[in-house]
């Protein structure tokens, strides 16, 4: 049986999300914060990527919001590094939306940060329609997901400001052809940027930081 969808209700939801996202964007500008939405499937390495960038940003003031269905694992990892952090649990919702982020910002120490990384819920489908008010979208995929991920999820990659292929050190072991990933990406996002990385070892983080225009030096 096909599920009947109320199109007008969906439109209202998306319009309201856009309105709140614009409010979030204004809040970031008011506090001089550059905010980034980090998206990707579970296990792609979103948390490791944020950690790696943070470690190379020296004394810059960096915060994080960790979105998950449940739990505080990623939030606690950020806190352990000394980052101001907030966990958002979405329950059954497979994405963050602007409303979730707005509530997280209510008691976030915005005056203490210049950069904010928002780690979205692990999903390559649901977050596409829900902007958060951030400056850029960074989509992370891992070679452990196979070399067909872009063909299977073209929309999120077509909208990505930057795409990171993580864990490239495992490509041969996983039998993944990186050239296939590059080729598929160019088909859905001809003018986009794709970076090969190994976030845990810092590979590709300097290139990503340059694209994001954030200060970065390789950690000693």
Query: Taking a C-beta distance cutoff of 8 angstroms, is the pair 41, 124 a contact?
Result: yes
- DSSP class per residue in 168-209: GGGHHHHT--HHHHHHHHHHH-TT--EEE-BGGGTBTHHHHH
Residue 181, token pair as written in the block: 């990933």
pLDDT-derived band at 41, boundaries 50, 70, 90: very high
Q: Is residue 7 predicted with pLDDT exceeding 80?
A: no
Return all residues near 129 (Cβ < 8 A) that are at least 6 apart: 14, 17
| Largest separation between any pair of C-alpha atoms in the chain | 59
Q: What pLDDT is recorded for position 4?
A: 42
> Average pLDDT, whole number, for the chain?
94
Residues 6 or more apart from 197 whose CB is under 8 A from it? 49, 164, 165, 166, 168, 203, 204, 205, 207, 208
> Which percentage of the chain shows pLDDT scores above 90?
92
Please report the pLDDT score of residue 9 as a whole number.
Answer: 64
7-212: CATH class? alpha beta
Structure tokens at 101: 């982020």
Task: Tell me what pLDDT residue 1 has.
Answer: 39
* Alpha-carbon gap, residue 60 to 215, rounded angstroms: 8
Report pLDDT digits (tens) over 110-128: 999 999 999 999 999 999 9
């Amino acid at each position: 049986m096909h599920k009947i969808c109320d199109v007008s209700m969906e439109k209202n939801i998306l319009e309201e999300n856009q309105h709140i996202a614009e409010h979030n964007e204004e809040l970031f500008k008011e506090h001089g914060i550059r905010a980034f939405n980090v998206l990707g499937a579970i296990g792609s390495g979103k948390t490791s990527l944020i950690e790696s960038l943070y470690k190379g940003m020296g004394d810059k003031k960096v915060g994080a919001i960790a979105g998950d269905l449940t739990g505080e694992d990623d939030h606690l990892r950020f806190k352990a590094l000394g980052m101001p952090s907030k966990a958002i649990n979405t329950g059954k919702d497979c994405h963050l939306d602007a409303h979730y982020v707005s509530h997280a910002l209510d008691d976030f120490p915005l005056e203490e940060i210049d950069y904010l990384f928002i780690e979205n819920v692990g999903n390559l489908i649901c977050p596409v329609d829900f902007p958060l008010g951030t400056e850029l979208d960074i989509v992370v995929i891992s070679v452990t997901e196979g070399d067909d991920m872009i063909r299977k999820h073209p929309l999120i990659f077509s909208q990505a400001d930057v795409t990171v292929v993580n864990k490239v050190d495992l490509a041969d072991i996983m039998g993944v052809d990186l050239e296939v990933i590059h080729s598929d990406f160019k088909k859905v996002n001809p003018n986009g940027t794709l970076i090969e990385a190994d976030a845990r070892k810092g590979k590709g983080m300097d290139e990503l930081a340059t694209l994001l225009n954030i200060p970065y030096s390789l950690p000693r």
